[in-house]
Amino acid sequence: MSRNAIALYVFLAIALSWCVQIPAIMLFGLDSAVINNIFILIMWSPTLLAVVFIVRSPVVRFQVLWRLGKLVYLPLGVVVQTAIGFAVVAILIAAGLATSDYFSFQTTGVDVSGAAWLLGDGTQSWIFFLINVTSTAIAFSILGLVAATGEEFAWRGFLQGQLTRQFGVLPGIMLLAVIWWAWHLPALLMGYNFPEHPYIGSFILFPLLMIGASLFFGWLTIKSGSFWPAALAHGTVNSIQQGLIENLQLQLPQLQVDILRTALILGVGIICFFLLRLEQNKKAG
């Protein structure tokens, strides 16, 4: 795709998202059950638009990373994003700043509560607990594909490759992070992700989240040759990672939890930044 075609796609994707987000939120409100279904449809809008561009160009069709690719990378995003959720939980509980309704950690094992866990609740050894968490994370990440595929086919499977061909790997991924942020902006400003601090969330935390996630998802996509690992990782973020953090009973402001989560996601992204740059230097050498 030419730069003009990329610019047209980005403009149409953001415009379509905004034209649905803004009236839907104003009409139904953020607390409505209807809005969640509308947001799932919005998540599919960049893929539906991408299909139009793909159908019109045989070259672009060949470049879309829709196959499964290297299977070893499929579970990696699930593991990393689940680990980030548990890292937030562990740090806050260890610091005495939160408790979890799901877990009571002990040296010999974990007391697990709630109906969310695939292998059940109760007192579990550390090994069984890890198996329980892993199987549950995989199940939820697969369920999360219902929505996440709509974004990730477009962003990582279709657009990332076009951007990196035109601008280079790291500039292309960073530009995609900006596009991804702008695509979310109306809901952010109206308090969907950060209801107590919509402007700090919209213009500081979420852009950093998008940079971290784009670098990690982008690295997964490049290494695997497929958008599916990124889609599974995205589904994990929206399901088990979000659920773990939302379940915490906090003794500190939510903003500080959001900062911690952002820092961890950005940290993973920075590692991927250096991995991508190292690989570029090897190719250049």
Q: How confident is the model at residue 216 (pLDDT cuts 50, 70, 90)?
A: very high
Q: Which position has the token pair 């879309």? A: 64
How far is residue 206's CA from residue 184's CA, in Å, rounded to a whole number?
9
Instruction: Kindly calculate the radius of gyration of the chain based on its CA atoms and give it in whole angstroms.
Output: 19
Bridge partners for 203 per DSSP? none
Tokens for 187, please give them. Answer: 């809901």
Task: Classify residue 73 by its DSSP letter.
Answer: G
Q: Across residues 173-194, what is the average pLDDT?
A: 97
Q: Across residues 261-278, what is the average pLDDT?
A: 97
Task: Classify residue 30 by its DSSP letter.
Answer: T
Tokens for 130, please give them. Answer: 């890890």
pLDDT recorded at residue 283: 81
Bridge partners for 111 per DSSP? 104, 123
pLDDT recorded at residue 259: 98
Q: Which position has the token pair 């929505």? A: 147
In the chain, pLDDT over 70 holds for what percent of residues? 100
Helix or strand holding residue 85 (H, E): helix 74-94
Domain spans in the chain, listed from the N-terminal domain onward: 3-284
pLDDT digits (tens, 9 = 90+) for 40-69: 999 999 999 999 999 999 899 999 999 999
Bridge partners for 107 per DSSP? none
pLDDT for 135 beyond 90: yes
* E-strand stretches of 173-266: 248-250
Burial environment of residue 121 by CB neighbours within 10 A (0 to 12, 13 to 18, 19 or more): middle
**What phi-psi label fits residue 120: left (phi over 0), alpha (psi between -120 and 50 degrees) or beta?**
left
How far is residue 49's CA from residue 54's CA, in Å, rounded to a whole number?
9
pLDDT for 114 beyond 90: no
pLDDT recorded at residue 33: 85
pLDDT recorded at residue 116: 84
Q: What's the Cα-to-Cα distance from 156 to each of 213, 228, 281, rounded to whole Å?
A: 11, 9, 23
Q: Across residues 244-269, what is the average pLDDT?
A: 96
Q: Are 28 and 34 in contact (CB under 8 A)?
A: yes
In the chain, pLDDT over 90 holds for what percent of residues? 91
* E-strand stretches of 87-241: 98-100, 103-105, 109-112, 122-125
β-pair type (98-100, 103-105):
unpaired
Q: What's the Cα-to-Cα distance from 101 to each of 97, 111, 247, rounded to whole Å?
A: 14, 10, 6
pLDDT digits (tens, 9 = 90+) for 143-162: 999 999 999 999 999 999 99
Mean pLDDT of all residues in the chain? 95
Q: What are phi and psi of 178, to 5 degrees?
A: -65, -45
